Structure 1
Amino acid sequence: MHLVPLIECAGKGFPDGFYEFKNCDSFKLLKEAREKQFVSYLNIGATWKPWHLYRSTLPFTPMSSPFHKLYGHLSDPVRIFTISGEFTGHRIPLSEDLLNARMVMEAKLHNLPEQVDRQYSSTSQSTASTTSLINIVDPETKDEVQFNDPDFRNGIVTCAALSLDGHHVALGFGSGVVELADIDHQHTISRFQLDPPNHPVWIEFVHGSHRVAAEDSEGNVTILSHDMTAANLGNLPSGPLPAVTRVSDNGLFIIRVPRNTDSSWYDSLTLVSILGDPHLQHLAPPSSNNFTPTSNPPILASEPSTSSSASIKSDAVLTIPHRRTLGFSPGAHYIGAFDGLSAFTWSTSSGELISSYRVTDFNLWIMNPAVPFTCSYRIPDPVSPRPTLSLTEGEAAHTHYSETHAGHNLDSSWIKCPFYVLLPSEEEWDELTMLDIHSSAAGRTPLFGTNGKRQRLPVSFNGKLEFIIPKEYEPVVFSGAKGLGAWYGDRVPFDPTFLYSPRSSKDGTRILLQGWQTAPIVVDLSQVI
C-alpha cells in the first residue's frame, strides 16, 4: 500500500471488530500510521502534510517498527545520530565503560516508578494510592532518585556540545567523565575525568574539535585536551541552574552568563579566553559606565513551564539572555547580550562595557546576524555610548592567532549596530508567525519554537519551516526559582517569544538536542536544506 493513502485510511478510524486482531502485523502497522497522521506544534494547531511524514516522521521511526520496515526507504535523507542507533542506524560512539554504564542506567530506569513508590511510602504518611503514584511520578522526586543513585547518575549525559564543523560531539556524564567522539568516522577521540569527579553542567568546543572547556556542578572551569594536561582556570559562583554559554565562531572565547536570583546577570559576566595562556576575565558591569539598567521584575512563575498546566503571565519578560539573545561579533572582538529590558556590548580584549540600550518591543529584537537582511528593521539608539574601542587595540591582544584578523571589517560594522529591531509589514503580521519573522532575519541560523506544552518543535531556516522535532526533545523551560530539580538535558529560561537557538554546527545543518532525555541526538539536515 502507498504511504499517503495508508495514512488517510488510518485517520478514518478502525472498523468494528478490528481490535480483535491487535497482535497482527497489519493492526500494528495501521495503529502506528494513525499515530503519525497529525502533527501539532507551537500555536499552529494540528496539521498533516506529506512532506512532514517523509522529512520528519520516518527518520524518527525506530528501525524495528513495522512502519519503518515497509516505508523507511521513502524517508528523506535525514540522519539521526543517537547512542543506540535506533532510528537511522547512525550512532554517537561511546567507550565500552560508558556503554556499560548506560545499560545499567536503562535497566534501572524501567523500575523507577516502583523505586520512587517505595521511597515515598517509607517517608510519607499520605494516603495517596500506590497505583496513582506508580503511574504519575513527580518530576522532582524522579530527579532526586536519579541523582542520588550512582547507577543512574553515571549513565546519564548531563550536558553535551557539538563542534562548529558538526563532525564531533562532546558528552559529559554524571560520573564526571567527558568523552569526545567523531560521529562521521564512528570512533571516540578522547576520554577525560574531571577532578574532583563532579558532573559537568556545560561543555563547549574551543579552538578546534579536539579541545573543550567544561564547568562542573561546583563552578570549576577546566580546559581538556588530548595533547595537554587539564588546565583548571578557577572557580566561579554556581547555582541550581547551569550558566548560559556561547562560543565565538573562531573558538577562542566563551561568554558565560550566570543564572541566579541573587544578583543581575550583567553584573557577573565572565569571558573564558583560550588565547595564549587560557584564563577567566570578568566583564565590567553597567554601573562602570554610569548606566542603571531597568530592574528585572520579580520572577512570575515557580515551576518549570514544560508542564501543560503551567501558566505564564502575558507581561512576563526574559530575565536572562540565552543562546538566541547572546553572542559575539564575527571576528570575536565584541560581545552582545540582551534580556527583556536591557542590552549591552563589551570588548573581548579589555572587558570594558562599550554601550547600553533600553529594550523596547522585545519580541522583535534580534542580535545582528552578520548576514544581509531581507526584511525591514530599525537600529536602536544606545542610551550611554562611549567611543568605540579601535580595532587596533584589539589587534595587540590577538597577534598570536590569524583567525581573529579575518573579522576586522565585519566587526567594525557590527559594533555600530549590534542589535536590530524587526519591522514586519502588516501583510507579514497577517501571514507569518513570529518564528517565520525571526527566522527570515536570522538566515541559516536554526530557530525552533516551543510553548511548554510538550508539542513537537518546528525548526526554521531562512524563514522556512524545514523540520519538526519530536516532543521528547523539547527543552526544560524554567521561569522561576523553584522546581529546579532537573540536573541534566536542555534547560533554558522562559522567553515570551517561545523562540530558541539550538546548539548547531556553524552552517546550521547539524543540530544537537537533548530535551528531557538522558542522552542527546544529532540531527543532520545537510542533504535536505
Structure 2
Amino acid sequence: MKEFITGDPIGNENDKVFFIRDVNKYFIGLPLLRFFNNSCEQGVFGEPSILPLGDKRKWSDFLKREHPHHLRYAREHLLEHLDPSQLFAQKSNLQNEFNTFLTRNLVTFMHLAPLYEQNQRFPDGFDKFTNNDSFKLLREAREKQSVEYSLWESGVYATSSTPWHLHRSTLPFTPPSSPLYKLYGHLSDPVRIFTISGEFSGYGIPLSEDLLHARMVMEAKLPNFPKKADSRDEYDAQFNDPDVRNGIVTCAALSLDGHHIALGFGSGVIELADIDHQCTISRFQLNPPNHPVWIEFVHGTHRVAAEDNEGNVTILTHNMTPVNLGALPNSPAATRVSDNGLFIIRVPRDSWYNNMALVSILGDPHMQLLASPSSNLGNFGFGVPHRRTLGFSPGARYIGAFDDLRAFTWSTDSGELIAHYRVTDLKFWIMNPAFPLACPHRIPDPVFTRPTLPLTEGGAADIHHSETRNLDESWIKCPFYVLLQSEEDTKEGNVQEEEIYSSAAGRVPLLGSHGGRRGQPMFFNGGVEFIIPEEYLPGGISGAKSLGAWYGDQAPFDSTRLYSPRSSKDGTRILLQGRQTAPIVVDLSQVV
C-alpha cells in the first residue's frame, strides 16, 4: 500500500518484478471506467429519465442526493487514471470501454460535473491527442457541461453547472454537425430555433433566391474586413460597402401569432415569410431604397409598416401600392404595435415625451404627434421608453409610457395628454398588463390628470373592439402599477427582484440589457426558462456623432437593466438578433 501511495518501490534487486512503478495509477483506470459505466447503466446516480430534461423541477431529487465517496471519486478522478496512450490507441481494451463511456454515459458524466472543473486542464498527456475524434468529443463536453451568464442587475458573471441548462439552453444552440449533438441531440428539449441558415435545429427562415445570393456575397466578404479599434468605424465600413450592406438584415418583426416574420435588408428590400410553412409571402422595395430601421406587422400578417433611415414611414400591403405617410425626425426610436394591429406608437430617443408619434393604420392611414406635456417639467430622465415600458390599453384607446422620472398617458383618438405621474422607483414600475396581479402592488397617484376624452363614435380603436371599451376604461384608471415586496420576499436570498417583476409581467420574455461577454438568463412568468447566448443580446443605442450600429437589436439605457425582446403575443416565440447580421426565432411553445 505504501508503494502505491508514494510511488517509491520497496525492496532489493530480487524484488524488482514486484515493484509498483505506476505513478499515475493507470492500473486502476480500466476497472474504474467499467465501474462508472456499470453505475450509469444501473441508474445509481438518480438522473431523471422522462423528457424534457430541461425542466428544473425534475432535477430536485438528483441535486439533493448525497453520493457515497466511491461514486464521487469515480466521477472526479476518472480521467486522471486513464492512460492517454492506451485511451486513444486502436483496439485496446481501455479504448473499447471508453467508447462505451463516450457514446452512452458522457451526458451523465456532464450532469455530475463539479463547478470547479470548468477551467481545469485535462490530465497530462491528453494534449498530445487533440486531433483525435474522441478527445474532441470529450473537450466539447467539458465546454458545454456548464453555462456562464451575467447576473441581471449587477452584470457580474456567474457559472452554473445545473444539468437542466444543458438540455434547455445548450443543446438547442449546438449545431447538428457537432459530435456531441450527433450522439445526444435527442436529449435536447423541443426548443425550435429558426434561422436563415438552419444551423441549429434545422428549422429555416425562408428567403427569396435574390436575398439568399445577397447573403452569400455578404458572408464571403465580411470576414475579410479589417477589425477596427472603434466598433463605430467597423459599422461604417460595412455600411459603405453595398455588397455587405445589401445582405445584412437591418431590422425584423414577428407577427403576434408568431408564425410570420418580416425581414428588412440594407438594400431597402423587405420580405415577409411564413416560418411554419417555410415559404415567402411578399416582397417589397422601399422607395427611395434606404434601409429600414424598424418594421411592425399591422392589421394581420400580410401588411407591415416600416420607417427607413431618413425617417420616411410607409405602409406596405401584399399586392397593393405602398402608402407613404411622410417623414419623421430622424432619431433612434422604439416602437410598439397595439394588439389589434391598428396603431403603432413611436418613441424617439431625443426629448421623447415631446416627440411621440402615433401611426394609425385603418381607413385613411396617417401619422400624428401626441400632445406634449407642459414645458416646466425640468430635466429629462436618463432612460427612454422601450418595449417593456411602453404600451397600449387592451382595446388601444389609450397609450402609456414611462422612463426613470416620469410616466404619461395619452388618448389614441385625440392625441391629447391624459395624465402625468412621477416615477419614484423605476425598478418596481410596470405597465398594467390587463390581467389581475397576483403579487403585492400599489396604484400610483397622478400629479396631473384631466377627464378622459370620450372616443369619437367610429374612431379607429372602436371599430373592431367595442367589447374592450370597459377594459380600456378600467385600464386608464390604473395604467401603471408599483410592485411591492412582501416580508417573505425581502428576506435575504428568498426571491430576486427580477423574479418578482417577471411574475407580475406574466408571459412576457425579459432579459438583461447590459451586454457583456456572457449570456443572459431569460425570465418568463416568474422564473428563468432559458439562457440567451451573448451574441444574440442587444447592444446599446448609439449616438448621433457616427453611424454606429445600423443593424441588430439595440436597447436604450434602463436602470433596471431589463429588456423585453420582440415576441409573439403569448411570449413563446422570441425574435433575437443581437449584434448578428440576421435574426433567429426561438420557439419555446413546447416547454413553457
Q: Secondary structure at the match of 2:322?
A: strand
Cα distance in 2 for residues equivalent to 1:482 and 1:380: 38
Q: Secondary structure at the match of 1:363?
A: helix
Moved more, 138-147 or 264-273: 138-147
How far apart are residue 8 of structure 1 and its match?
4.5
Cα distance in 2 for residues equivalent to 1:19 and 1:7: 24
Cα distance in 1 for residues equivalent to 2:463 and 2:185: 47
1:91 aligns with: 204
1:218 aligns with: 310
1:165 aligns with: 257
1:153 aligns with: 245
Q: Deviations over 1:386-407 (max 9, x none)?
A: 01223xx2443138832x2232
How far apart are residue 272 of structure 1 and its match?
0.3
Q: TM-score, normalised by structure 1?
A: 0.87
Q: Secondary structure at the match of 1:110?
A: helix
2:42 aligns with: none
1:411 and 2:472 matched: yes
2:458 aligns with: 396
**91, 106, 119: which one pairs with 2:219?**
106
How far apart are residue 482 of structure 1 and its match?
5.5
2:577 aligns with: 514
1:309 aligns with: none
Q: 1:243 to 1:323 in 2, by over 3 A?
A: same
1:243-254 matches, within 5 Å, as 243-254=333-344
Amino acid in the other structure paired with 1:407: T
Q: 1:224 to 1:27 in 2, by over 3 A?
A: same
Cα distance in 2 for residues equivalent to 1:218 and 1:480: 16
Q: Deviations over 1:152-182 (max 9, x none)?
A: 1000000000000000000000000000000
Contact 1:224 1:231 in 2 (8 A): yes
Q: Deviations over 1:323-367 (max 9, x none)?
A: 100000010000000011111000001111000111111111110
1:78-477 matches, within 5 Å, as 78-113=191-226, 138-239=230-331, 242-260=332-350, 264-287=351-374, 292-296=376-380, 317-318=382-383, 320-390=384-454, 393-398=455-460, 401-402=463-464, 404-429=465-490, 430=492, 431-477=494-540
Contact 1:181 1:189 in 2 (8 A): yes
Q: Secondary structure at the match of 1:406?
A: helix
Number of aligned residues: 477
Cα distance in 1 for residues equivalent to 2:559 and 2:180: 38
Cα distance in 1 for residues equivalent to 2:546 and 2:390: 25
How far apart are residue 322 of structure 1 and its match?
0.6
How far apart are residue 137 of structure 1 and its match?
5.0
Q: Secondary structure at the match of 1:228?
A: coil
How far apart are residue 233 of structure 1 and its match?
0.5
Contact 1:371 1:443 in 2 (8 A): no
How far apart are residue 484 of structure 1 and its match?
5.4
Contact 1:198 1:218 in 2 (8 A): yes
1:15 aligns with: 123
1:312 aligns with: none
How far apart are residue 254 of structure 1 and its match?
0.1
Q: Secondary structure at the match of 1:281?
A: strand
Cα distance in 1 for residues equivalent to 2:349 and 2:111: 45
1:46 and 2:109 matched: no
How far apart are residue 49 of structure 1 and its match?
1.4
Cα distance in 2 for residues equivalent to 1:45 and 1:401: 51
Q: Secondary structure at the match of 1:30?
A: helix
How far apart are residue 42 of structure 1 and its match?
2.7
Unpaired runs of 5+ residues, structure 2, are 1-103, 152-156
Q: Secondary structure at the match of 1:28?
A: helix
Contact 2:371 2:417 in 1 (8 A): yes
How far apart are residue 138 of structure 1 and its match?
3.3
Q: TM-score, normalised by structure 2?
A: 0.78
Cα distance in 1 for residues equivalent to 2:185 and 2:514: 30
Cα distance in 1 for residues equivalent to 2:377 and 2:393: 23
How far apart are residue 480 of structure 1 and its match?
5.8
Q: Deviations over 1:419-439 (max 9, x none)?
A: 011001243133222221110
Cα distance in 2 for residues equivalent to 1:206 and 1:139: 34
1:313 aligns with: none
Contact 1:504 1:512 in 2 (8 A): yes
2:68 aligns with: none
Contact 1:276 1:400 in 2 (8 A): no
Amino acid in the other structure paired with 2:345: I
Q: Deviations over 1:295-337 (max 9, x none)?
A: 126xxxxxxxxxxxxxxxxxxx42x101100000010000000
Amino acid in the other structure paired with 2:218: M
Contact 1:7 1:33 in 2 (8 A): no
Q: Is the radius of gyration larger for structure 1 or structure 2? A: 2
Q: Secondary structure at the match of 1:229?
A: coil
Unpaired runs of 5+ residues, structure 1, are 117-135, 298-316
1:36 aligns with: 144
% identical equivalent positions = 69
Q: Deviations over 1:439-476 (max 9, x none)?
A: 01001111112332132121112111111111111101
